[in-house]
Structure formats: C-alpha cells, structure tokens
Amino acid sequence: MKKIFSFLLVFSIVSNTLFAQYKHEKAVAAAVVGLSTAMINADKAMLEKYTSDKLSYGHSSGVVQNQAEFIDGIVSGRSDFVTIDLTEQTISISGKTAVVRHKLSATTNDGGKQGAVKLSILLIWQKKHGHWKLLARQAVKIT
C-alpha cells in the first residue's frame, strides 16, 4: 500500500510540474505572437504591454535600442514589419525567466523601402506581475 501511495504521490507531483511548465510555455508563446502582431500593426499600447521598461533590443546590424527607441522605430515606420513568420521555436523556462529561440522571416517596408529579412532570434522574457514581458532580444542574420 505504501508503494502505491508513494507512486501516486510522485506521479501527481511530476504531472503537476509538467502541466505547470506547459502552461507557462503556452503563455510565453502567446506573448511572442502578441508582440509580433503588435509589431506588424505598429500598436504602441500593445508594444508597451509586451516589452519591459528595461528592454535591450539588439538588431542584427549591431544597433541596440531601449524600449522607447524600439517602440518609436516601429510606430514611426522607420522599422515597418509587413509580415512576420516564426519557425523552429523553442522555449525554455527557469523560474520567472523564459528563453525563446526561433527563426524569423519577414517582409519589411522600412521608411517606405521594401525588403526581406531572415534572422535567428534570441528573446529573454521575464514574468512580472503575472505577465510575460520582453526583457532582451538579439538577432543575427542567417547566411
């Protein structure tokens, strides 16, 4: 009887842990989609919702922006995403920090100039007051 109880206890703990991990991964994945949608729509309020006020946003060109600079670039149209396609996404969560990696393919219209980008992206998300916020991002060009 003790063995059965011990097995059920361990099974319950493992199941709850895995479910909680999956639940957090789904929430982070939803935040990634929300941020991408906000970038396409140049939605200032949503960009603020999904980014930390301590944001460090690194571009593949080497330019690094804070939250205000990143949002201004999107809202002004200097950085205009027409489409964003994310593939090969992985999410790893440790406490209140999530590491997301994916490939990004996008069409752009930066300052009225059409273009396309293919990037490998690293995102660091932090859970703050029950919401996942982008804390850091770094991109590198795919050759």
Could you state, in order of their start, the residue ranges of all structural domains in the chain? 2-141
Distance CA 101, CA 88 (A): 8
- Kindly tell me if the per-residue pLDDT of 12 is higher than 50: no
Provide CATH code, domain 2-141: 3.10.450.50
- pLDDT for res 24: 87
Per DSSP, the three-state class of 1 is coil
Lowest mean pLDDT among 3-7, 8-12, 29-33, 136-140: 8-12
Averaged over 33-42, what is the pLDDT?
A: 97
CA distances from 116 to 53, 110, 139 (A): 28, 10, 14
What's this model's pTM, rounded to 2 decimal places? Answer: 0.84
